[in-house]
Structure 1
Amino acid sequence: MTLTVQFETLLSMIAMGIFFGAFLDTYQRFLKRQTRPRIISFFTDIVFWCVFGLLIFYCLYRVNFGEIRLYLFLALLCGYSAYQALFKRLYARLLEQVILTVVNLFLFLKKCFYFLIILPIKLIIKAVLIVTGLIGKTLLLLAKTALSLLLLVGKIVFSPVFLVWRFFPDRIQKKAAILNEKLAGFFLLVKNTVINKANRWKK
């Protein structure tokens, strides 16, 4: 390697050491080992080291085509030490601020989604149900009132017929009585059905 390539490689490894410190702090911040099972921490640690190893190799490949020297590990250590001494506290504050900003943004978008989409749909559905219920109750009340008026008019209209009916023979009156019971049962069934439906709508 030329002197320029060696110098670039050295700076790259120092930068990767600083990046490793930030990457490790970010990983530990989101991992939360106290609440994670050990088996999960074990596998995530393996993934972490594999990913960072690939990043280092890619950086070396871009700078010096993957040639490894002993001083490169020292450069990584120097970069990590520089991060711990100079940038750790600043990066921790910045990371917490970014996390807080992302969480607040998510909550804001969640509220916007609820108030702009979910809540109007709920109100529309509720309004449709209320209007439908009022229409149903009104129709059932009208049907109940019409049926009561029909029965009242029927009694008034057929009251003279009942007076004349007493003079008919007993055989005809018995047949008419049977027919009258059937018709009365039918009208009572219709009336009870309308009343039950009206009571359900009221509830």
Structure 2
Amino acid sequence: MNLTIQFYTMLSMIGMGAWVGAALDTYHRFLQRPRRKRWIVFLHDIFFWTVQALIVFYVLLRVNEAELRFYVFIALLCGFAAYQSLLKKLYTACLEAIIQFCVRTYQFFAMLIRNLLIKPIIYLAQALLALFLFLLHMLKIIFLGIYKVLFKLLWMLWKLLFIPLGFLGHLLWKLVPQRAKIFIARYAGFLKQITKVKGIILKWWNAIRTRLGGPRE
């Protein structure tokens, strides 16, 4: 391996040391160790260091075909130390600014979607539901009013027909001969059944009229 390749290897490993330092700070910022369980932190640590080792190995493979020398580790440590002393504060500040920008951007678009899309749909659905309930209530009132008017008209028509017929029947009953009355009296049981049925019908009729607010018979 000539001097040029060694020089490129040193520079690349110094850069990878700085990269590992930045990646470690980023990893700690998003992981938040105190809030995680130990086994979760352990698995994340293994995954993180495996990925970093693979990245370093890939860069080393591209530079000097993965020839591992002692100065490679020295260059990695130098890059890591240079990052910690020179770039750590600047990087963490930039990282925090980027995170805050992304969070605020997300909050802004979430609020925008909620206020311009979700809330209007909810308000429209509530208005349509209220309108539907109002129309349903109005239809109920209209149908009840029509039903009451028709019922009262039918009741008045019934009374107009029943009173003359009852009066006529009463007169005809008086004109019936006494023998015919005695003959009819033999079937008093049948007439009692008719009277009972009439009482049941009148009781049912009065119950319906009471619910509708009409006078009882």
TM-score, scaled to structure 2: 0.78
| Cα distance, 1:55–1:158 mapped onto 2, change above 3 Å | same
Instruction: Give the superposition deviation at 1:35.
Output: 1.4
Q: Give the AA of the match of 2:93.
A: R
Secondary structure of the structure 1 residue equivalent to 2:162: helix
- 2:71 and 2:111 map into 1 onto residues whose CA distance is 53
Give the deviation of 1:155 after TM superposition. Answer: 3.0
Deviates more, 1:174-183 or 1:117-126: 174-183
Unaligned runs of 5+ in 2: 174-190, 213-217
2:111 maps to 1:130 = no
Please say which of residues 14-23 and 27-36 is displaced more in the overlay: 27-36
Q: What is the distance in 1 between the residues matched to 2:199 and 2:162?
A: 12
- Other structure's SS at 2:68 match: coil
Residue 154 of structure 1, CA deviation: 2.3
Alpha-carbon spacing, 1:23–1:150, altered in 2? closer, same or farther (3 Å): same
1:52 aligns with 2:57: no
Q: Does 1:98 align with 2:98?
A: yes
Superposed displacement of residue 185, structure 1: 6.1
Using the TM superposition, give the Cα deviation of residue 148 of structure 1 relative to its aligned residue in structure 2, in angstroms: 1.5
How far apart, CA to CA, are the structure 2 residues paired with 1:188 and 1:38? Answer: 77
1:119 counterpart residue number = 119
Larger radius of gyration: 2
Deviation sequence 1:101-137 (CA, Å, 0-9, x none): 1111111121122123221221221122111111100
Determine the C-alpha separation between the residues in 2 that align with 1:186 and 1:139: 22
Give the Cα separation in 2 of the matches to 1:84 and 1:22.
9
Return the offset for 1:160: 2.2
- Deviation (angstroms), 1:178: 4.7
Residue identity opposite 1:50 in structure 2: T
- TM-score norm. by structure 1 comes to 0.83
Q: Which amino acid aligns with 2:80?
A: Y
Number of residue pairs matched by the alignment:
190
Amino acid of the residue matched to residue 17 of structure 1? Answer: G
Aligned ranges for residues 156-195 of structure 1 at < 5 Å?
156-167=156-167, 168=169, 171=191, 174=195, 178-179=200-201, 181=203
How many angstroms does 1:182 deviate by? Answer: 5.3
Aligned AA (2:42): F
2:8 is equivalent to residue 8 of structure 1 = yes
Note the residue ranges of structure 1 that are not aligned, 5 or more in a row.
192-203
Query: Could you say which residue in structure 2 is the equivalent of 1:153?
Result: 153
Q: CA–CA distance in 2 between the matches of 1:12 and 1:34? A: 34
Measure how far apart 1:184 and its partner are.
Answer: 6.2
| Aligned-CA RMSD value | 2.5
How far apart in 2 are the matches of 1:184 and 1:107? 68
